[in-house]
Each structure stands twice: as structure tokens, then as C-alpha cells.
Amino acid sequence: MSSREKILARIATNKPSLTVLPNVPIFEGDNSIERFKTVLESIGGRAIEIATKADCQAAIDTYYSDLKNVSSNIVNASIEINPETPKDILEQVDLAVIQGEIGVAENGTIWVPESNMLNRALPFITQHLVLVLDKNNIVANMHQAYQRLEDVGSYGVFIAGPSKTADIEQALVIGAHGARSMMVLIY
């Protein structure tokens, strides 16, 4: 018998009798931009409201004028990134500006599917990350987020703020391996 069969047989013998799978309610909650911003800031991120999506460029020019290698399909890019881009180019990215799909007010997280990432590694290898978010796509909690998210695609990530660690004496340090800063432009 293969290990697969052995494991499955042991489970069949040892499992308890079938119990009921509960229904998960959607639960109510605050889905305001204010809530989203407050929570995002509490986890080290930053949110800026802009009038329209077209104002992203101005925001990037204002906040990130010092960064040289920008990759984006929303604002002017100085470095082109695609799924085939080699690692040594990816490593040079200072700023990535990409679209986020769903924001969650309760925890400040944003769903980013692979199709928005330009390259799967980009949101993590970039030194700084900007996600662009439609304010109508902010939901209250994770139940509502998964309800909207019918399909997770091949790969997708809920990103909540910059990369962080507290592995040294519980001291919070922003910028562990991934993005050193994370900003959300809400239009």
C-alpha cells in the first residue's frame, strides 16, 4: 500500500462521525475610508485620497520624486517589468505602482491578484510599494472580501502594509525582506 492509501485508510478508520459544517455569516462592519485609513496607518502603511485615478501620477511625483526605478502600468514607468523579467532587473526596482482590487477596512489589507502584479515577485522585491484602490471597493471585513472574490486565480495576495518583523525582542522593524514602505492611493 502506498503512503497515500495508508494515510487515507487510517483517517477513514480513526475519524469521528460526521459533524455539521456551520454557515459563516457575512457579519456587519464599518467599511468607511476613514476606518480603512486608520487601520492601515496603525500597521505601518499610509493612505492618500486622490480625486480620480488620473491623479496617481501627481501623487507619485509628489511623494516619490527621489526614486529612480519605477515600475507600473498605471503611472509613468522607468523600468519595464513583465513575467519574464530576470531577477537582476527585478532587484533594481525602487518603486512599484500597481492596482489593488479590494480593500478591507477592518484590517487595512488589499487584495492583489497576479494579473495586477506585472511579475509575481514585484510587490515583494520592490523597495517601496504603492497600491491604487477604488474607494467603492472597500469592504468592512474578510467575509465580505471573500464574498466579492469569487476566484483567487493562479496566485493572489492580501497585502497589509509594508514588510515587517518583530523577531528581535519584539521590537517592530519596518522593511524586513519586502517593501520598506507601502502607500495606498484611494480614488
Return the residue of 56, 70, 93, 125 that touches other proteins, per CB under 8 A: 125
Stretch that binds other proteins, among 52-60, 66-74, 94-102, 158-166 (CB under 8 A): 158-166
Considering only residues 60 to 79 of the shown chain, the ones binding other proteins according to CB under 8 A are none
Chain centroid offset of residue 36 CA = 14
Stretch that binds other proteins, among 50-58, 59-67, 73-81, 177-185 (CB under 8 A): 177-185
Chain position carrying cell 494515510: 7
Nearest to 31 by CA among 136, 134, 133, 146: 136
Q: Is 137 in the site for other proteins (CB under 8 A)?
A: no
Please say whether the beta carbons of 37 and 30 come within 8 A. Answer: no
Please say whether the beta carbons of 171 and 164 come within 8 A. Answer: no
* 3-class SS of residue 48: strand
Stretch that binds other proteins, among 48-56, 63-71, 130-138, 161-169 (CB under 8 A): 161-169
Report the distance separating Cα 129 and Cα 122, nearest Å. 9
Q: Is 107 in the site for other proteins (CB under 8 A)?
A: yes
Q: Is 102 in the site for other proteins (CB under 8 A)?
A: no
Q: Is 82 in the site for other proteins (CB under 8 A)?
A: no
